[in-house]
């Protein structure tokens, strides 16, 4: 049987520990300058069909066990997804925040997490997951920031969300 190649990830900027946001989180192990490539989000590139199947299975697991995250699969292209749900991908443990200190950047078929401001040693690293409004009620946000909007919704969709909120009066 062929041995699977496990990518080597640079973990010099991070430390994994329990998070107040959700189960495990990723924290800065040293001061990080704005613009630093903190870590790569590695995983297995799979077809959209396989990615959808894995997403659905993971979502069901997360409903049964609250310590399980619900989403680890990224849309890479029209054809491919990136499933990062592997122990060897510590970046999978980075939580979402409505006021993040990092962002994700796709370069070709790779995803990197980049600091968008200077981050102090010990701070939890977070980025905007960028989710749209489909099924937003399934993804409550517990980032705890002053500007938290209560759900994991990407910055680009927040205006539409506010309109929806006013219309539905909640």
Ligand X SMILES: C[S@@+](CC[C@H](N)C(=O)[O-])C[C@H]1O[C@@H](n2cnc3c(N)ncnc32)[C@H](O)[C@@H]1O
Q: Given the rule CB under 6 A, which residues bind ligand X? A: 21-25, 62, 69-72, 92-93, 95-97, 141-143, 152
> Measured between alpha carbons, how far is 18 from 40 in angstroms, rounded to an integer?
21
Q: 147: which 2 tokens?
A: 């500007």
Residue 62 binding partner per list Zn ion, ligand X, none, with a CB distance cut-off of 5 to 8 Å that depends on partner kind: ligand X
In the complex, the smallest distance separating the C-beta of residue 85 from ligand X, rounded to whole angstroms, is 8
Residue 114 binding partner per list Zn ion, ligand X, none, with a CB distance cut-off of 5 to 8 Å that depends on partner kind: none
Q: Which residue lies nearer to ligand X by CB, 115 or 153?
A: 153
In the complex, the smallest distance separating the C-beta of residue 86 from ligand X, rounded to whole angstroms, is 12
Q: Which residue lies nearer to ligand X by CB, 72 or 136?
A: 72
Alpha helices (H) in 11-157, listed in sequence order: 48-64
Residues 134 and 157: beta-carbon distance below 8 Å: no
- Name the one residue in this structure whose structure tokens are 């994700």: 104
Q: Which residue lies nearer to ligand X by CB, 29 or 70?
A: 70
In the complex, the smallest distance separating the C-beta of residue 3 from ligand X, rounded to whole angstroms, is 26
Q: Which residue lies nearer to ligand X by CB, 1 or 106?
A: 106
> Measured between alpha carbons, how far is 119 from 57 in angstroms, rounded to an integer?
34
- Under the rule (CB under 5 A), what is the footprint of Zn ion? 98, 141, 143, 148
In the complex, the smallest distance separating the C-beta of residue 98 from Zn ion, rounded to whole angstroms, is 3
- Name the one residue in this structure whose structure tokens are 């500007």: 147
Residue 23 binding partner per list Zn ion, ligand X, none, with a CB distance cut-off of 5 to 8 Å that depends on partner kind: ligand X
Q: Give the β-pairing of 126-127 and 95-96.
A: parallel
Q: What is the CA radius of gyration of the chain?
A: 16
3-state helix, strand, coil in the chain (%, to 5): 20, 30, 50
Query: Which residues, at least 6 apart from 162, have a Cβ–Cβ distance to it below 8 Å?
Result: none
In the complex, the smallest distance separating the C-beta of residue 59 from ligand X, rounded to whole angstroms, is 8
Residue 119 binding partner per list ligand X, Zn ion, none, with a CB distance cut-off of 5 to 8 Å that depends on partner kind: none
């Amino acid at each position: 049987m062929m041995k699977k190649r496990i990518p080597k990830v640079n973990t010099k900027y991070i430390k994994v520990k329990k998070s107040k946001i959700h189960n495990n989180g990723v924290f800065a192990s040293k001061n990080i300058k704005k613009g630093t490539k903190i870590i790569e989000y590695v995983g297995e590139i799979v077809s959209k069909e396989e990615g959808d199947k894995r997403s659905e299975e993971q979502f069901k697991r997360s409903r049964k066990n609250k310590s399980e995250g619900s989403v680890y699969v990224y849309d890479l292209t029209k054809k491919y997804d990136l499933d990062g749900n592997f122990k060897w991908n510590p970046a999978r443990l980075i939580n979402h925040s409505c006021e993040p200190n990092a962002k994700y950047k796709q370069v070709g078929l790779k995803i990197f997490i980049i600091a968008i401001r200077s981050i102090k040693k010990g701070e939890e690293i977070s980025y905007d997951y960028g989710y749209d409004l489909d099924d937003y009620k399934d993804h409550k946000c517990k980032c705890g920031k002053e500007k938290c909007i209560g759900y994991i919704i990407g910055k680009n969709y927040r205006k539409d969300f506010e309109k929806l909120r006013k219309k539905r009066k909640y």
